Amino acid sequence: MLDIKFIRENVDIVKDAIKNKNEKADLDKILIMDKKKRKLQFNYDNLRAEQNKVSKEIPELKKAKKDTSELISEMGIISKNIKKISNELSEISSELNSELLKIPNIPYPDVPIGKSEDDNKFIKEWGEKKEFSFKPLDHLELNENLHYLDFKRAAKISGSGFSAYVGNGAILERALINFMLDFHIQKHGYKEISLPVIVNRKSMIGTGQLPKLEEDMYLVEQDDFFLVPTAEVSITNFYADEILPYTILPQKFVSYSPCFRREAGSYGKDTKGLQRIHQFNKVEMVRFVQPEYSYETLEEMLMDAEEILQALGLHYRVLNLSTADLSFAAAKTYDIEIWAPGSKKYFEVSSISNFESFQARRASIRFRDVDDKVKYVHTLNGSGVATPRTFIALIENYQNKDGSINIPECLRSYLKGFKEQRILV
C-alpha cells in the first residue's frame, strides 16, 4: 500500500505506475475521497475541541451558581453532530482504504517500461546450453522410461493440472528440497521456518495477493481461509502488526512449502506436464531489512538463488522484469530462467523481488530505528527455488542416450534411497 500523503504529492508518478502496470485503480476518485475525509476529520476535531472546552466550563459555572441550561443544550447538539460525523468518517475511511488497496507499487527507476514480457531486459547468463550427440527428449518423453511422474493417476485423485511424483521421482524432488534448504541455511545464513499453509484473508491482503488475485487463489469458503500461493504469505505476515527493534534486523528466513494456484489466467499458456500445475513445492527466501539496505539485499538474494542453480550445473539467464510483467506489489523483480534442452525453452524457476515498504504498510510491519523513530521495514522475497521446472531442466540436462539420467554431485548424498525401480502401469 502507498502512503496517502505520497499519493497526494506525487499524483503523476502514481498515475504512471497504474498505467504502466496495466491496473485499473481510480486515482481521481481516491483523491476526492481523501479530500472529503480530511474535511470531515477537520470538522470532527473542531467539534471535539469545542466539546472538551464546554465540558470544562459547565462545572465551573455550576460552582458559581450560574445557569448552564443553554450550554448543556448546545452540548447535546454538538454530541449528535460528533456522532454523525464519526459515522461518516468511519464509512469514508473504509471506502478509501478499499480503493487504496487497488493502487500498485511504484516501479523502481531502472525497471523497463514495457507492454509485454518481450520488454523484459536481459541482465546476464551463467553457463552454456548443453550440447548432445543425440536428440534430447523432453521430460514427458523421458518419463516414459523413468516412470518418475504419474499424471494420469494424479488426475484421477484431484483433476487435471496436478502431478504425482513416484518412487525415484519422489526421492529426487525431496532431494532437491533438502539440498536447497541446507544450502541456504549453511552457506547463506538463513533461518529455517515452517508455518501454516492455510492463511486468513488479512494475511493475503498484507502481501498483496488480495484483492487483485482472488480468483487465482484457492479459497476455503466456510472459514474464509486461503491455501497459500507461496510461503511468502505466511513468512511475511510472521511479523504483521509488530514494531521490531532495529537490533534484530535484518531477518533472513527460508521455508519449504507446497504452493497452491488455480492458474485462472493461464488459458492459452503451455501447461504440459510439470510446466504449470495447481500444486507444487517451493523453497522460499524472505528478508526483512532497514530501507537503506533493501536494494543491495535484492542483489544478494539474486546471487543466493543463482548459486543453487550453479551448484546443480544448470545454464540460466537473468531478466529485469518490465512494468508489464512486474507483479502488482513489487517495485523491482529479477526472474531467473533455466534452459531445458528437451523442451527447447527457458523456464522461470525463481522471481526475486523488492517490495520496499508496500507490503509492510499493508501488514503493519514496522521497526524502531536508532533515532527512536518508528518506520516501515522493507520486505523482499524470492524462490530459492521452485521444484517442478527445476525438475524438468535437471532430468533433461542430465539425460543419457538410453533414457537414463545422471545425478549432479551436490544431490548424491540426498539420494540414498534412489534405486532402479518401476511402478505398476
Find the helix or strand (DSSP H, E) in which 122 lies. Answer: strand 121-126
Point out the catalytic residue in the list 261, 287, 362, 366.
261
> Mean pLDDT score of the chain, rounded to an integer?
94
364 is catalytic: no
Point out the catalytic residue in the list 153, 262, 276, 317.
276
CATH code 2.40.110.10 for 4-100: no
CA dihedral angle for residue 225, residue 227, residue 230, residue 231, rounded to 10 degrees: 70
**Cell numbers of 148, please?**
518418475
- pLDDT, residue 297, reads 98
Q: Single out the residue of 40, 28, 39, 42 nearest to residue 99, CA to CA.
A: 28
- pLDDT, residue 424, reads 40
Task: For residue 261, name the pLDDT band (cuts at 50, 70, 90).
Answer: very high
Task: For residue 268, name the pLDDT band (cuts at 50, 70, 90).
Answer: low
Q: Single out the residue of 319, 243, 336 nearest to residue 285, CA to CA.
A: 336
Q: Which residue stretches of 150-218 are H helix?
A: 151-157, 168-186, 201-207
Q: Single out the residue of 291, 316, 294 nearest to residue 385, CA to CA.
A: 316
Point out the catalytic residue in the list 287, 362, 366, 389.
389
Task: For residue 265, name the pLDDT band (cuts at 50, 70, 90).
Answer: low
Q: Single out the residue of 385, 389, 364 nearest to residue 374, CA to CA.
A: 364
Domain ranges of the chain: 4-100, 117-414
Please give the Cα distance from 208 to 230 (Å, whole number).
Answer: 12
Helix (H), strand (E) counts: the chain? 12, 14
Please give the Cα distance from 242 to 291 (Å, whole number).
Answer: 17
Compute the Cα dihedral for 251, 234, 107, 390 and give only its sign: positive
Q: pTM for the full model?
A: 0.93
Find the helix or strand (DSSP H, E) in which 75 lies. Answer: helix 69-100
130: Cβ contacts below 8 Å, ≥ 6 apart: 315, 339, 341, 397
424 secondary structure, DSSP code: -
- pLDDT, residue 312, reads 98
Q: What is the pLDDT of residues 166-221, one digit of tens each?
A: 999 999 999 999 999 999 999 999 999 999 999 999 999 999 999 999 999 999 99
Quick one: average pLDDT of 382-391? Answer: 98
261 is catalytic: yes
128 secondary structure, DSSP code: -
Point out the catalytic residue in the list 294, 327, 343, 351.
351
Q: What is the pLDDT of residues 392-409, one digit of tens each?
A: 999 999 999 999 999 999
Please give the Cα distance from 128 to 304 (Å, whole number).
Answer: 20
201 is catalytic: no
Find the helix or strand (DSSP H, E) in which 395 lies. Answer: helix 387-397
Quickly tell me which residue has 470544562 as its cell.
56
Q: What is the pLDDT of residues 269-278, one digit of tens each?
A: 777 899 999 9
Question: Are 353 and 333 in contact, with CB atoms under 8 Å apart?
Answer: yes
**Cell numbers of 28, please?**
481521481
CATH code 3.30.930.10 for 117-414: yes
Please give the Cα distance from 245 to 375 (Å, whole number).
Answer: 11
- pLDDT, residue 425, reads 38
Point out the catalytic residue in the list 174, 348, 361, 364.
348
Please give the Cα distance from 375 to 2 (Å, whole number).
Answer: 14
Distances, alpha carbon 10 to alpha carbons 16, 61, 106, 229, in Å: 10, 51, 11, 32
Find the helix or strand (DSSP H, E) in which 56 lies. Answer: helix 27-63
Q: What is the pLDDT of residues 98-155, one digit of tens each?
A: 999 999 999 999 999 999 999 999 999 999 999 999 999 999 999 999 999 999 999 9
Q: Which residue stretches of 237-350 are H helix?
A: 294-312
- At position 172, the amino acid (one-letter code) is L
